[in-house]
Amino acid sequence: MRYFFLIFSVLSYFNHALAQGRYALVIGNGAYPQKQAWVNDLAPLPTPHHDAEDMARLLKEAGFRLLDSNGANKPVINASKIEMDSAVDQLIARLQQAPNSAVIFYYSGHGVYLHEESRPKESANYLLPVGVNFTAQDAAKFKGFGVNAHNIKDRIESSSAKAKLMILDTCREKLELKQSKGFAGGGEFRPMNPLNGMMVVHATLHNAVAWTEADERNSDFTRYLLPALRQGKGENIMLSIGQAIERFGTETAHLPNEQRQQPHAEGLLFGAFCLQGCGGLRDNIPSRDVIPAGVTRINRYLVSNDGTAKDTVTGLTWMRCLVGQEWDGETCVGGAKRFNSEQARQQTATFAGFSDWRMPTIEELRTLVYCSDGKPDYFNPDPVNDPDNFYCWGKDFEHPTLVKGVFPNNPVNFVWSGSSNANSSSRAWYVFFYDGHGGGLNHGGNLEVRLVRSGQ
């Protein structure tokens, strides 16, 4: 099932900015036309209105003011394009009147990506309203009746709001659209590429399905997300999201590959953002902000003196050194080893008390890319073979493109992922940590390896 759920949300805020306001736009679109021969992936969806209702209820409890197309304090259910555009305008208008506010945009429904051949920087993800009969595969028509998700992100990102978060609970597998003048068709929902200071959370990895069970009220990921947010109201929102991602990934890791779903996140929220009053814990739940002995917080990572670093956004735990280097208690020493792709896939380890270390996927490896100047480049130099790629732009960022305090003494080199290139069986994906760009290399090439684990 193609399932798109976008929540663009600021669930947290600086305590001193509390009086400036907290606003949310919550949309759930599921009443799409019945299945058609070519567009089965855009069939009606059973859970978006429930997802929107439940998220709206949670946010209202936390003191957020919802906005619909008329400015009313309620979610938007099964919205037309006009209603969606009007609701976004209502939200932006409130943000202009309330600097330092917290803002939430939530969308549950279908979405597609459209690539413009002649103007690739204008390629974008589109949210699909209801009330439109999908009668053609023409990509240009989707642009005409869709709502540009990147435009919404950019408008909120450029506002003076202090807390900005987007969550996309959507299938991201390929949707074939017919090419039309100026367009190269469309397909799976793509990364949103937020600047640091804003976070986007995806319910699944690129080219994968986001599932929902027939007898459940909410989508699979939302069923994990809502209780994590409710439990962690008084804590840093990144920790709650990280907990939901990690738990979901861990509890579904036993499923076959075609049924597996791994959420992940882009970007980073700055400051201690909380859904409801940082420090105001309920039910005597111990705070996940309490950092145990031997662990230090650096950026979004919990860094241990055992040579591991846990990403509080993705829930992944990384080795701080590349394979071949050694951790001496303070830094990485020695040289990294190089392997061809097949040798790299065989690399495992027992380290820091765990034996489930493995190769990362390309999506997981890309989460390590850190542009120290805060300016990733979203231009796609190769939209056909490498549609999700981006890299650090300009001359002011540091090399390697890693958080150096987390990954000390790491060389500026190419690192293998465990993902094969879908367009060429003889190649696998890598990331070059000079500027963070990725690409494909023949399996016989020799690159370095960093291991990761998904468990607790």
Same domain, 45 and 133: yes
Domain with 116, as residue range(s), is: 5-267
Q: Do residue 236 and residue 91 come from a single domain? A: yes
pLDDT band of residue 163 (cuts 50, 70, 90) is confident
Give the end of a domain, one of 267, 282, 309: 267
139 and 253, same domain (yes or no):
yes
* Span 255-308, pLDDT tens digits: 776 677 778 778 777 666 777 766 433 322 233 345 677 788 887 888 999 999
227-242 tens-digit pLDDT: 888 887 777 777 777 7
Element (H, E) at 344: helix 341-345
Q: Are strands 76-77 and 102-108 parallel, antiparallel or unpaired?
A: unpaired
CA distances from 445 to 340, 343, 416, 426 (A): 5, 10, 10, 11
Q: Is the separation of the CB atoms in 389 and 381 below 8 Å?
A: yes
| Shared-domain flag, residues 257 and 367 | no
**449 φψ region: left (φ > 0), alpha (ψ -120 to 50), beta (else):** beta
pLDDT digit string (tens) for 329-356?
A: 999 999 999 999 999 989 988 999 999 9
237 and 353 inside one domain: no
Report pLDDT digits (tens) over 357-378.
Answer: 999 988 788 889 888 766 666 5
Segment 426-448 shows an average pLDDT of 90
Query: Would 332 be classed as within a structural domain?
Result: yes
In this structure, are 347 and 383 located in the same domain? yes
Per-residue pLDDT of 128-143, as tens digits, reads 899 877 655 566 667 7
Q: At what angle do helices 48-61 and 220-231 cross, to 10 degrees?
A: 10
CA distance 126 to 165: 18
**Integer CA distances (angstroms), 105 to 64, 200, 223, 300, 318, in order:** 11, 11, 18, 23, 31
Number of domains in the chain: 2
- Are 80 and 156 in the same domain? yes
Q: Same domain, yes or no, for 175 and 309? A: no
pTM value is: 0.62
Pairing of strands 65-66, 22-28: parallel
